[in-house]
Each structure stands twice: as structure tokens, then as C-alpha cells.
Amino acid sequence: MAKVCMLQFLKTILATLIGLILFTAFGAIGITVLIVGATQPEPVAPKVRKKSVLVYDLSLGIQDNTPGTSSRLSDPFSAGDNSASLRAVVKTIQAAAEDEKIVALYLQGGDPSAGGYATLKEVRDALKTFRKSGKPIYAYDSDWSEPEYYLASVADTIALDPIGSLTLDGFSAEVRFYADALEKYGLGMQVVRVGQFKSAVEPYLNNGFSPSNRQQTETLLNSLWQNFLVTLGDYRELNAEQLQAIANNQGILNPTEALNQTLIDQISYPDEIETALKELTGGPEDEPFRQKSLLEYAKTVEEQTKGDSDNQIAVVYLEGSIVNGEGNFGVAGSESIAKLLRKVRKDEDVKAVVLRVNSPGGSATAASIMGREVTLLAETKPLVVSMGDYAASGGYWVSAPARQIFASPGTITGSIGTYGLLPNIQKIANDNGITWDDVKTAPFANSSTIARPKTPQELALNQKTANAIYDRFLEIVAEGRSLPREDIAKVAEGRVWSGISAKSLGLVDELGGLEDAIDAAGGFAELEPGDWNVKEYPRQRSFEEALIAEFFSVLPSSLTQPLAQQNQPLPAPLAEQWNGLQSDLQDLTYLNDPKGVYTRMPFNLEIR
């Protein structure tokens, strides 16, 4: 009895100590949050002096919805200090075109991190709006890559460093294959899939592209590349055939070659461009040209564009791999997205909704949960979908019920198909002395085990599930697009399409960006142009929420950041491949569908 009492006493003491520790920790955090929150000044829009140049650093990271603190564009707890939302970038450039204090725009070259060509297309359109204002655009870099040059091609003056280069060598797609590695280490992989072109499983089965996957990838790349060439010719007075010849015969041009081909306007050092800009802005000779960075100027634009209308158009961002559960930034969780869609559906102030989809898909169950909410929303309010760089497979599933779908020419979409990955560790375990035995009351009682490969009967059951989900996928698309099921089946089979091809096939309605989708939603809601405020979901975290999240971060940044952001001493090509491996492994952690069936486009198709 005494021993029991002593144990109980020790447990009580231990519980009390733990309670005190937790109380102290939470109290410290709470006090810190209150103090920092109270002392944190409200963001003040910086003043813009007359005759200023807007400086757009092309290394600026652009995401659909950057999770900054309060209404700020970026913060130390987001994806980095040098990042902004796509909508903020576009609106800022458009506002600068009308601002009398802004006399020019300077595109300053840097390692591009703005996303895919669908994102770049929306930024480029904003740059075209600026150029139409009559104000000059200058662009300078020491080495122009294709994504950077895609934006710079709008400029009145494109300059290149005397020892620089300009790359125009075409697009390529690279996929990592793991079949030999899995066999070497004794990891078994079985698959089920529906769709001749549903190639997401191929990296685990093959050592290279299958004929059907190569065919669809070539078709996709050619469509994207031809649109790229035509777009470049807008202002450079070069047609697609001339640009193709440059790519075929030169690929990487030195400054003199780029100048002779009229791809650039001058060969200059940075100070020479700055001297030209100084002539526009004036001011003391010993001071640099008068300038305002895009991120700084965006705060001014944000203050000036706040509307007072009671009408709201909600923009809901669905970004990243689709998973079951809550998800997080960059991962679209079924519960969190469904909750947001229900919220805007029931909000009487929300007159229309734009669903911005930038996702390669993922869990079939999660896509179905979100897709149901999209359908209910579309039955209640005008719903328009704006597709970003990717809106494929599960990303297309949730898009299909919308009244109207906008895509960029560079959007990768379609991939209507299903698959399942069924791994087992029997060989690697047996090789290391581990074996299993089992007792069961029915043949399929342990069919979910990874201790052995699936039997033919078990594979048939998994295939039956994949088939049923594929059939439902076709029904969702046919109903949403008001097209016969047999017509959808012809363009499905897991095949991916560019935005241009998808429009010709009836999978999307219009080519355009996020602002086009917002305007269309306002029209469907019968609102006067501009008689609305845009409210974005998920909302940006408050400073206090971000601080708490930082306190409770359990993974060191070295494990969660790409290697390229950690100042590691690896050559760029090697770091790029290592980051790709990390991304592939991370994508595997998102495979949490309870049925083991996924609607996702090919894993990490890297287009360069």
C-alpha cells in the first residue's frame, strides 16, 4: 500500500512539474506575442518621389498566395523575404503605368524563381500594359536565361553584360526514374492505373519514358515552346521560324551574337544602364538614380486600391499537392479547402467566387471531397476557375464544375486518370533476416500489408477501385463541361495538355489570367465593373500567429529548405538534382489517400 501511495505521490509531483513547465513556456510565449504584437508598427506605405524608377528584381519569388503577416507581401516566416503574391505583382506594375511619379521600369536580372510560364505570362501581360503607357522599360542582366528573357523581351532596351550570354536553346523535360534503385535495395513496387498516358507510376517501374509518355510529353513541350517563340516575337520583330533557327544553330549566344540577332539592343555594364536611368530621374550627380523597389511600391499601391464596396469577390487559392486532412502552405488539404469553400458559399457578402487552382493533383478521395464543395458552390453562386502553372488530374477534377474556366497558354492541365502505388519491403527485410507469418479469418484480411507483394486477386481488387474512381472522374468532367462522356474519354486516359490544346479540346473556356477570371466572375454576378472588393482565402497570418508558428516549429530549416537556399558548397547542377530528389521524396509523403488511389499528373516533370 505504501508503495502504491509513493508511486501516486511521484506521479502527482511529476504532473505538477510538467504543468509548471508548460505554464511557464506558454506564458513566456504569450507575453512575447503580446509585447511584440503591441510594439509592431502598422505598415506605413512608403512615399514615392517624383521621377522615380520602379525596379523589378527578376529573382523575386512569385507564388499564387504568399502567407505574409497581416496584409504584407512577405515576412521572415513565409517562403522568404524576397517573395510576393502574383496578384500583388500584377496590380503593382499596372498601377505604376498610371502613376505620374513613376517615369520608367527597370527589369534587373537575377536567378528566376517566379514559377512556370503560366505565372510569367500574367506578369508579362502587366509589363505590356506598362509599355503601352509610353514609359520606357529597361532590362539588364549578365546572363539572360529563357524565363528571364521571356519577361525582358517586352522592354524597350534590353542590355547584356560584355562577358555575359543569352540562352535560347529550347525546352526539355527531365524525369528521374527509380526502378533500378528500388530493385537494388530490395524495395518492391506494384501499381494499378487507368489511362494509357497516366505516367505518374512510371518512375518506379521503368528506366525511361514509355512510348506513350514520350509522345504526350513531346506534344506538350512543342505546344509550350511554339507559344514561347510566338510570344517573344511580339516586340523583337523576329518570327517563330527565325527564333527556332537560333535555338537549333546557336543555343547560347555571346553578347555580339545576341546583338547581331536583334535579341538585345546594347552591350553594357550595369553602371551604363544606371547612368541612362539617372538621366530620366535627375537629382544630384553623386546620388544614384531615384528608385522604388517593386515590393516597396506594392505597399503604396495596396493602400491606394482599398475599396469600400460591400460586394465581395472571393478568391480561394488551391495550391500544391492535394492531400487528405488540413494541409499547410503549399499543400492543399481536403478539410481546409472544403471549409473555405463552405465559408464563402454561406457568406452573403460574397457575390461570386474565383477558385485559383495551381495543383498537379494528388489524393483521389481528397479531390472528391473538395470537388463536392465546388459543385455545391457552383450551384449557389457564380464560380470561375483560374488555372495557374498546373491544374492537372485532381486539380482538374475540382475545376470541372465551374461556370467558366480560364487557363494560360502555358498551363499544364488534363491528366484525367487514376493510379495506385503498392510498395512492399519483403526482399529488403528477408535479406536482413526479417520474416513475417500471419493468421487470418478471410483471404483478404491482410491485403494492405507491405510485408509481401500483392496477390493477383488483391491486385484485381485495387484495380477495381481505380476503375470505379476513373469512371466517376469522367462523369464529373462530362457533367461540368456539358460534354458527352465519350468525348471526354477520348482526351482523358491520363494525358496532359497545354492550356492552348485544352481550350481547343473543350477542357477550358478561355485563355486568360487571374484578373480576367475575377472580371468574369463580377460579370456573372451582374456587378458594375470595379464595384467589388477582392477577398483572398486562405487569409494571411497575423504577426502573432506567425510568431507562434515559429515557436512551435519542430524541423530545422536545413531539413525543410531546398539545398539551393542553404548556401551549401555544391555546384548548381548538382544542387539542382539533389533538390529534385528531395522534392520526389517529399511528394511520396503526400500519398495519404485511404483507398491508395491518386489523381495526379507525372511526378515533378521538370521543364527547362
278-295 confidence digits (pLDDT tens): 999 988 888 899 999 999
Q: Is residue 162 part of a domain?
A: yes
Task: Check pLDDT > 50 for residue 227.
Answer: yes
Residue 174 lies in a domain: no
Q: Which of 183-197, 319-333, 380-394 is predicted most confidently?
A: 380-394
What does the pLDDT look like over 435-476, one tens digit per residue? 999 898 999 998 989 999 999 999 999 999 999 999 999 999
Least confident of 128-142, 175-189, 484-498, 572-586: 572-586
Whether 157 maps to a domain, the answer reads: yes
| Pair (407, 485) in one structural domain | yes
Please indicate, yes or no, whether residues 339 and 273 belong to a single structural domain of this protein.
no
Does residue 590 surpass a pLDDT of 80? no
For residue 541, what pLDDT is reported?
A: 53
Beta bridge partners of 332: 322, 327
The confidence score (pLDDT) of residue 174 equals 86
pLDDT in the model for residue 101: 95
pLDDT of residue 597: 81
Give the pLDDT mean for 183-199: 91
For 205-220, the pLDDT digits (tens) are 999 999 999 999 999 9
Range of the domain at 119: 52-168+250-303
pLDDT band at residue 301, thresholds of 50, 70 and 90?
Answer: confident
Gap between the Cα atoms of 177 and 168, Å rounded = 27
pLDDT at 9 over 50: no
Q: Which has the minimum average pLDDT: 217-226, 534-543, 562-571?
A: 562-571
Pairing of strands 61-63, 83-85: parallel
Residue 67 pLDDT > 60: no
pLDDT at 595 over 70: yes
Q: What does the pLDDT average to over 414-427?
A: 93
* Model pLDDT, residue 277: 95
Q: What integer is the mean pLDDT of 31-60? A: 68
DSSP letter for each residue of 193-247: EESTT--TTGGGT-SS--HHHHHHHHHHHHHHHHHHHHHHHHHH---HHHHHHHH
Q: Which of 198, 299, 454, 503 is catalytic?
A: 198
φ, ψ at 516 (rounded to 5°): -65, -40
Q: How far apart are the first and last CA of the chain?
A: 74
My answer on whether 293 and 409 are in the same domain is no
Integer Cα distance of 454 and 423 in angstroms? 9
Residue 31, pLDDT above cutoff 70: no
Convert the pLDDT of each residue in 97-135 to its tens digit: 999 999 999 999 877 666 799 999 999 999 999 999 999
Residues 267 and 160: beta-carbon distance below 8 Å: yes
* 136 or 596, higher pLDDT: 136
Whether 323 and 297 share a structural domain: no
Identify whether residues 103 and 56 lie together within a single domain.
Answer: yes
Q: Name which residue leads in pLDDT, 302 or 83.
A: 83
**Residue 306: per-residue pLDDT:** 64
Please tell me whether residues 490 and 384 are part of one structural domain: yes
**Cell numbers given for 569:** 558548397
The number of distinct structural domains making up the chain is 2
Of 457 and 15, more confident = 457
Q: Is the distance from CB of 164 to CB of 214 less than 8 angstroms?
A: no
**Residue 393 annotated among the catalytic residues of the structure:** yes
> Does 163 have pLDDT greater than 60?
yes
**Together in a domain, 262 and 130:** yes
What is the residue-averaged pLDDT of the chain?
84
Average pLDDT for 518-542: 88
Q: Residue 79's pLDDT is what?
A: 40
Whether 107 maps to a domain, the answer reads yes
Q: According to the model, what pLDDT value does residue 326 have?
A: 85
Of the candidates 393, 399, 415, 501, the residue annotated as catalytic is 393
pTM above 0.85, yes or no: no
Nearest-CA neighbor of 128 among 146, 108, 105, 144?
105
pLDDT tens per residue, range 127-162? 999 999 999 999 999 999 999 999 999 999 999 999
Strands 291-293 and 52-57: parallel
Whether 200 is in a domain gets the answer no
Q: Are residues 389 and 261 in the same domain?
A: no
- Amino acid identity of 37? G
Could you read off the pLDDT of 328-365 as tens digits, one per residue? 777 899 999 999 999 999 999 999 999 999 999 999 99
Instruction: List all residues 6 or more positions away from 307 whose beta carbon is below 8 Å from its beta carbon.
Output: 530, 532, 533
The rounded distance, in Å, linking the Cα atoms of 534 and 337 is 18
Residue 486 inside a domain? The answer is yes
More confident residue, 308 or 45: 308
20 — pLDDT class (breaks 50, 70, 90): very low
Residue 39 above 80 pLDDT? Answer: no
Picking from 285, 303, 321, the residue at the C-terminal end of a domain is 303
Domain presence at residue 294: yes
CA 405 to chain centre: 18
Please tell me whether residues 353 and 417 are part of one structural domain.
yes
Q: With bands split at pLDDT 50, 70 and 90, how would you rate the model's confidence at 600?
A: confident
Q: 394 and 532 in one domain?
A: yes
Are residues 293 and 347 both part of a single domain? no
| 419 and 292 share one domain | no
Among the residue ranges 14-28, 148-162, 478-492, 565-579, the one predicted with the least confidence is: 14-28
Nearest to 436 by CA among 452, 422, 423: 452
In a domain, 85, yes or no: yes
Q: Which residues contact 513 (CB under 8 A, 6 or more apart)?
A: 90, 121, 122, 125, 386, 406, 408
**What's the CATH number where 83 sits?**
3.90.226.10
